[in-house]
Chains A and B, each alone.
Chain A
Amino acid sequence: MSDRPLVSIKGLTRVFDVSKPWLNRVIERLPKRFLTAVSDVSFDIPARTTYALVGESGSGKSTIGKMVVGLLPPSEGHVTIEGVDLATEKDPAVIDRIRTDIQMIFQDPFASLNPRWKVRDIITEPVGARGGDTRGLAERLLEQVGLSAEDAGKYPHQFSGGQRQRLCVARALASEPKLIVCDEPTSALDVSVQAQVLNLMTDLKEEHGLTYLFISHDLTVVRHMADRIGVLYLGRLVEEAAPEDLFTRPAHPYTAMLIDAAPKLDAFGREVIPPEGEIPDPIDPPKGCAFHPRCPLAIDRCTAVRPKLEPFGAGRVACHRAGEITLENAA
């Protein structure tokens, strides 16, 4: 496995059936309704790098994360991890091996830890469930994530939010994974605690050679963590680039809008001209480019033809007028 990316995603699509119950459909003569949460998304994550997905609510970033770890089957397309597609692989031994390589950290550290379990049991479960050796494991991992070995006998409620997120990180590390999918890992935390957790994740990445799929809505966090950033809008990848390129020379008008709208520390009294409109209804998305109703550069072609994601500079962008946008407030 020399140059093969650890994770390869091809044409990933997920459609949810959001129809009303059949009786209502019969009586009210309603058609079935489908919500396309993720549509034809393709990207690769090379080993030992951090790939970040950013987007606003409803952009499909969490749905992609769930499909990567196998919590949701894709409607179309493939997620290949180390050359294995978990959705179609038949050999249970292979599936088992790949599954131990993937872990996930969720947003809410209060909901993702079982309140009735001791920390030791929570952390060692991923290993114990496969019959692995768990002696001293919890204590060792706790010290690695900056907690103390004595904490193994405590319950989750005895920890603060940041400490709980450290517990989630320790649990994710227990099975010695290669890939960790982090879905908004610091959104529920205060900034000073967020800094601690982000630094911890950076250190662990170096020590363990981890690969992260980092899902977040916070551009500043993403800029700090990512080696490559994918911007999602309404379930489609609209731009992909390295952080510095993306933040200094965004090629897609949506990316530029996001960067301009994000509050900045040095912008006191800045008179922002806020972006207009909101994310449209994903059940009935606009024709052509989904961003055209809010786009300052939209031309007739944008309302009719959906732009393809094509190489642009060192990245990829899906826009008929790629590269023509400039930042209002240079970052």
Chain B
Amino acid sequence: MTRSSPVLSLRGLTVDIPTRHGTLRPVDDVSWDIAKGEILGVVGESGAGKSMTGNAVIGLLDPPAHISGGEVLLEGQRIDNLPLREMRRIRGKRIGMVFQDPLTSLNPLLTVGDQLAETILRHLPVSESEARARAVRGLDEVGIPAAKDRMGAYPHEFSGGMRQRVVIALALCAEPTLLIADEPTTALDVSVQAQIIALLKRLCRERGMAAMLVTHDMGVIAETADRVAVMYAGRLAEIGPVAQIVGSPRHPYTDGLMASTPAASAGQARLRQIPGNMPRLTRLPAGCAFHPRCPRAQDVCRHDPGPKVGVADARAACFFPIESEEDAA
């Protein structure tokens, strides 16, 4: 490891869901590190396992889903095998969470001030009045105007963008070292989305907080993330710096994903499309899960899942990665 010790390390994280029809594996042998102050974007289509990975990290998997292999390390400490009570202390304090829908992440019966103060009191050894003062500062930091007056307002009195700011303030109020944001801007309008993205970037930079940003929107990833992890059918397809992933993708899936965004084929009558659909977990193809849709697939892809990525230098989990011009030179 050349980087100083990472905030979050996944080592072969695997999640299983036992069902009557056999065991499903929504997350399969995923490894990556997130350094201090770094934003790792996790992209993939629905069913790729990106949210499930986030939930596994914070220990919020819905039974019968469970971690069946690998390790989750937070600042070097293993957290995937902690008892529930200790995990609760980590959640909210050391790992903050922001979910897609700000309305369901807030309690509609409590004022935002009460919710913030409650969270601060639970995690930090401060007095009630200090907690409220910190809550005001938190709201102020995420850009809520007249924060002091808004402490007594209920979630329904805020607009969608302001509500998501409150959720972010709530996630950050105990000063976590890691933020997991699961589709934080998907429910928002573009102008508000730009505000939230700018806010997340500023907070990561100022606080040196690491963030795992889960989204399906390539544009958001390109603009926000330092590094990008691309997931497909539970596995890590490719990981690397954002400019490389977006600019010269190596895995054929990443390439197809980038090319199918309307922005990438501006001026063309047809969009490039990846044939077929993401396989269901119940019927995962053998070998590389992408091979039935892959233009570069050969015999070996049909029975061997391909090289591992995430920790060592390999960037794409593919036997026949796309070589960019710089590589060839």
Contacts and interface: CB of A to CB of B under 8 A. Distances in A.
Nearest to A258: B190
A264 B198 contact: no
B191 A268 contact: no
A268 B257 contact: no
Contact of B219 (A192, A196, A217, A262): A262
A100 B218 CA distance: 39
A32 interface: no
A111 interface: no
Interface centre among A163, A258, A261, A267 (most CB of B within 10 A): A261
A224 B223 contact: no
A57 B216 contact: no
Given A160-B277, A202-B270, A220-B261, A263 B246 contact: no
Interface of B: 45-46, 159-162, 189-195, 197-198, 216-220, 222-223, 242-243, 246-247, 256-258, 260-266, 269-274, 277-278
Per DSSP, chain B at the interface is: helix
A190 B195 CA distance: 23
28 contacts: A56-B190, A163-B277, A191-B260, A192-B260, A193-B277, A194-B260, A194-B262, A195-B260, A195-B271, A195-B273, A198-B271, A199-B270, A221-B262, A224-B271, A257-B191, A261-B190, A261-B193, A262-B219, A263-B193, A264-B222, A265-B219, A266-B222, A267-B222, A268-B246, A272-B223, A273-B198, A274-B197, A275-B195
B262 A224 contact: yes
A263 B218 CA distance: 8
Interface in A218-233: 218-221, 223-224
Given A191-B216, A272-B198, 7 more contacts: A57-B189, A190-B46, A194-B260, A218-B262, A221-B262, A265-B258, A278-B191
Contact of B243 (A161, A264, A268, A273): A268
A221 B190 CA distance: 13
Interface of A: 56-57, 160-163, 190-196, 198-199, 202, 217-221, 223-224, 257-258, 260-275, 278-279
A260 to B, nearest CB: 8
B219 A264 contact: yes
A266 B246 contact: yes
B274 A268 contact: no
B271 A265 contact: no
Contact of B191 (A163, A220, A258): A258
Contact of A161 (B46, B198, B242, B256): B46
